[in-house]
Structure 1
Amino acid sequence: MNNVGLLYVGAVLLVNGLMLLGRVPARSAAALNLFVGGLQCVTPTVLIIQAHGDSEAILGASGLFLFGFTYLYVGIANLAGLEPEGIGWFSLFVAGAAIVYAGLAFWRQHDPVFGVIWLSWALLWGLFFLVLGLGREELTRFTGWTTVLLSQPTCTLPAFLALTGGYRSTTSAALIAAAAAVLLVALAAVLGFRGQPRSVHDRAAAAA
Structure 2
Amino acid sequence: MSDDANFDDIQRRMDGALTSLKDDFKGLRTGRAHTSLLDPVKVKAYGGEMPLSQVAHVNAPEPRMLTVQVWDRSLTTAVEKAIRDFGLGLNPQAEGQTIRVPIPTLSEERRQEISKVASKYAEQGRVAVRNVRRDGMDALKKQQKEGEISEDDYKRYTEKLQKMTDDHIKQIDELLEHKEQELMQV
TM-score scaled by length of structure 1:
0.27
User: Higher strand share goes to which structure?
Assistant: 2
TM-score scaled by length of structure 2:
0.30
User: Higher helix share goes to which structure?
Assistant: 1
Which of the two has higher C-alpha Rg? 2
